[in-house]
């Protein structure tokens, strides 16, 4: 947080500042506050008070944003209190013009610990399956233009991850060096890259990870909109695997198609030490719609997924959807925040759960999303399928990979908001998901429905009536549950 907070103290370049404080007060009744098995449910009244503030600034040579949102919870029947703290702060600064830059970010949030326990995105539930996760990184980097022939970038990232589940606590140093063709090259573009990373886990049972990779790539324009792509290189990792040796040649080949400035299609096929690899990426945008689809096969870690979330974030999705009609970033961010608050939307869509683990795994992820913004109706839809297969045994014996080497997650989510009047809106959020712990034959099917009615009493004061139903049907009978909850929320911006 110190690195992120220090960014605004750099030379005082002209900037546009936007400060938005607010307050949320919510009363909820849940008929199954602990998400207990059928027949053992216990109801609870929960009062939540959440003062919050967002600060954003943009200038010629720096950008800064910070958001802090505590949630103070009081449980009437239990007479208990809890305080949760959420923050997301960071930015970037150009310390030496066109040469030396620094980026930093620090976040804290609540995350699901394991797929073996109840899965929920609500902070009020007593499930014993959520942990506070803090992640921070700082990246100083250099840019240099070698005339019109090549552009270079050298970056070093230092990152820290810690949580209440201390076995994933770690720090890492990552080096990225790239050299790419400059504007002289029109038809044939090239790049060379070096990647090196060392992850040190605090838990002595976990294996510290080292990875290094050298790659080179070529892209040849066949027509102004079609290009052929080929990449190759070598990687060397120290993973303890039960399969192939984690080192060897890397290669892939494919093509790109960019028929318009707002349409992109790319696909490659190749091979790495763990087997064949495929990748696909599609994006298209119109004035009122946004379309995305992607597929990747890669090696990843739970730590990497926490530092760079890959799931669909509501704010990011809406930011892209609003970009055609609201080009100014700060004005667009304000519109996004207002839309989320007015419709009482969840900050995230249904995504694969990043359960805690120190074991590297082969990741296969398919994602697709669609959004359309009309005069009265806005529709957002996402779907995903994700497979994780551990490369080796779990040294801690405490995570989901200790029970199943392969874990699959599938899900879809639909958000529909409609304006009844200029001040009153209805939103529906429906999601389904399935988790398969393949090796032990366990399957969980989740269904979640949220319905909310929101009315704006004043331009910066709104109230909502919300209903939520969460149901899980598991092959383990003691893990099946149903929760119904109703909430009344008051949301004020100042």
pLDDT tens string 79-121: 999 999 999 999 999 999 999 999 999 999 999 989 999 999 8
Q: Could you give the angle at the alpha carbon of 88 between the alpha carbons of 87 and 90, nearest 5°?
A: 140
Pairing of strands 44-59, 80-96: unpaired
Question: Cα–Cα distance between 167 and 427 in angstroms, integer?
Answer: 40
What are the residue boundaries of the structural domains of the chain, listed by start? 2-493
Task: Note the pLDDT of residue 196.
Answer: 98
Question: Cα–Cα distance between 306 and 386 in angstroms, integer?
Answer: 16
The two tokens of residue 461 are 């004061």
The two tokens of residue 477 are 């009978």
Question: Cα–Cα distance between 484 and 469 in angstroms, integer?
Answer: 5
Task: Note the pLDDT of residue 337.
Answer: 72
Query: What's the maximum distance between 2 C-alpha atoms anywhere in the chain?
Result: 73
Rounded (10°) angle between helices 314-322 and 329-342: 130
Return the beta strands (E) in 222-262 as ranges.
226-237, 247-260
Is residue 370's pLDDT more than 80?
yes
Query: Which band of pLDDT confidence, cut at 50, 70 and 90, is reported for residue 396?
Result: confident
Which residues are 488's β-sheet partners? Answer: 27, 465
Going by C-alpha positions, the residue among 431, 447, 438, 451 that lies closest to residue 480 is: 447
Question: Cα–Cα distance between 138 and 141 in angstroms, integer?
Answer: 10
Going by C-alpha positions, the residue among 44, 118, 35 that lies closest to residue 74 is: 44
- Mean pLDDT for all residues in the chain: 91
Query: Which band of pLDDT confidence, cut at 50, 70 and 90, is reported for residue 215?
Result: very high
Is residue 8's pLDDT more than 60?
no
Lowest mean pLDDT among 164-168, 197-201, 418-422: 164-168
Q: Check: CB of residue 474 under 8 Å from CB of residue 443.
A: yes
Q: Check: CB of residue 269 under 8 Å from CB of residue 121.
A: no
Stated pTM of the model? 0.90
The CATH number of domain 2-493, selected from 1.10.287, 2.40.170, 2.30.30, 3.30.370: 2.40.170
3-state secondary structure of 329: helix
Among positive and negative, which fits the CA dihedral 82, 56, 491, 465?
negative
Return the beta strands (E) in 76-129 as ranges.
80-96, 100-112
4 against 185, higher pLDDT: 185
Q: Check: CB of residue 155 under 8 Å from CB of residue 193.
A: no
Residue 391 backbone dihedrals phi, psi, to 5 degrees: -80, -20
Pairing of strands 62-75, 44-59: antiparallel
Query: Which band of pLDDT confidence, cut at 50, 70 and 90, is reported for residue 2?
Result: very low
Task: Note the pLDDT of residue 493.
Answer: 87
Query: Which band of pLDDT confidence, cut at 50, 70 and 90, is reported for residue 5?
Result: very low
Is residue 180's pLDDT more than 70?
yes
Question: Cα–Cα distance between 119 and 326 in angstroms, integer?
Answer: 36
Q: What is the mean pLDDT of residues 50-72?
A: 93
Q: What is the mean pLDDT of residues 327-337?
A: 76
Q: Check: CB of residue 303 under 8 Å from CB of residue 203.
A: no
Task: Note the pLDDT of residue 387.
Answer: 97
The two tokens of residue 164 are 């209440």
Going by C-alpha positions, the residue among 421, 481, 431 that lies closest to residue 453 is: 421
Query: Which band of pLDDT confidence, cut at 50, 70 and 90, is reported for residue 11?
Result: low
3-state secondary structure of 358: coil
3-state secondary structure of 314: helix
N-terminal to C-terminal alpha carbon distance within the chain: 26
Neighbouring C-alpha atoms within 13 Å toward the C-beta of 209: 32
Question: Cα–Cα distance between 80 and 64 in angstroms, integer?
Answer: 37
Task: Note the pLDDT of residue 175.
Answer: 98
Is residue 132's pLDDT more than 80?
yes
Question: Cα–Cα distance between 105 and 305 in angstroms, integer?
Answer: 15
pLDDT tens for 223-277 read 999 999 999 999 999 999 988 999 999 999 999 999 999 999 999 999 999 999 9
Residue in the block written with tokens 């790049």: 191
Neighbouring C-alpha atoms within 13 Å toward the C-beta of 128: 5
Q: Check: CB of residue 444 under 8 Å from CB of residue 479.
A: yes
Which residues are 19's β-sheet partners? Answer: 55
223 CB-near residues (< 8 Å, 6+ apart): none
Going by C-alpha positions, the residue among 419, 450, 433 that lies closest to residue 382 is: 433
């Amino acid at each position: 947080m110190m690195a992120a907070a220090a960014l605004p103290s750099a030379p005082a370049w002209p900037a546009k500042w936007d400060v938005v404080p607010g307050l949320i007060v919510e009363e909820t009744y849940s008929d199954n506050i602990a998400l207990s098995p059928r027949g053992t449910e216990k109801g609870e009244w929960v009062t939540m008070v959440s003062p919050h503030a967002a600060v954003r600034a943009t200038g010629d040579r720096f950008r800064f944003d910070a958001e802090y949102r505590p949630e103070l919870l009081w449980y009437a029947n239990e007479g208990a209190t809890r305080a949760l703290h959420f923050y997301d702060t960071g930015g970037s600064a150009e310390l030496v013009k066109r040469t030396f830059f620094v980026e930093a970010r620090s976040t804290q949030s609540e995350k699901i610990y394991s797929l073996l326990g109840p899965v929920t995105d609500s902070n009020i539930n007593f499930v014993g399956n959520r942990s506070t996760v803090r992640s921070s990184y700082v990246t100083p980097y250099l840019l240099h233009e070698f005339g019109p022939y090549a552009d270079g970038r050298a970056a070093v990232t230092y990152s820290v991850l810690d949580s209440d589940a201390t076995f994933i606590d770690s720090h890492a140093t990552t080096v990225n060096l790239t050299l790419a063709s400059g504007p002289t090259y029109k038809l044939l573009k090239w790049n060379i890259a070096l990647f090196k990373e060392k992850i040190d886990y605090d838990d002595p049972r976990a294996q510290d990870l080292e990875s290094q990779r050298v790659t080179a790539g070529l892209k040849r324009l066949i027509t102004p909109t079609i290009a052929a792509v080929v990449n190759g290189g070598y990687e060397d990792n120290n993973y303890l695997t039960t399969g192939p040796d984690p080192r060897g040649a890397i290669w892939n080949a494919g093509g790109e198609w960019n028929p318009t400035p707002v349409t992109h299609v790319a696909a490659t096929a190749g091979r790495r030490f763990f087997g064949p690899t495929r990748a696909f990426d599609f994006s298209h945008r119109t004035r009122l719609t946004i379309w995305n689809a992607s597929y990747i096969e890669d090696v990843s870690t739970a730590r990497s997924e926490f530092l760079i979330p890959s799931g669909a974030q509501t704010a990011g999705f809406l930011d892209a959807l609003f970009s055609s009609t609201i080009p100014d970033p700060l004005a667009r961010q304000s519109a996004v925040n207002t839309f989320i608050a007015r419709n009482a939307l969840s900050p995230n869509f249904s995504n694969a759960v990043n359960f805690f683990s120190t074991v590297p795994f082969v990741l296969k992820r398919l994602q697709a999303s669609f959004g359309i913004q009309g005069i009265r109706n806005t529709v957002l839809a996402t779907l995903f399928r994700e497979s994780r297969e551990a490369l080796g045994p779990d040294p801690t014996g405490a995570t989901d990979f200790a029970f199943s080497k392969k874990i699959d997650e599938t899900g879809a989510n639909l958000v529909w908001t409609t304006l009844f009047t200029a001040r009153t809106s209805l939103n529906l959020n429906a999601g389904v998901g399935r988790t398969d712990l393949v090796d032990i034959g366990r399957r969980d099917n989740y269904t979640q429905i949220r319905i909310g009615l929101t009315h704006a009493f004043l331009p910066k004061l709104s109230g909502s009536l919300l209903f939520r139903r969460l149901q899980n049907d598991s092959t383990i009978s003691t893990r099946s549950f149903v929760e119904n909850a109703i909430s009344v929320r008051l949301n004020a911006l100042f």
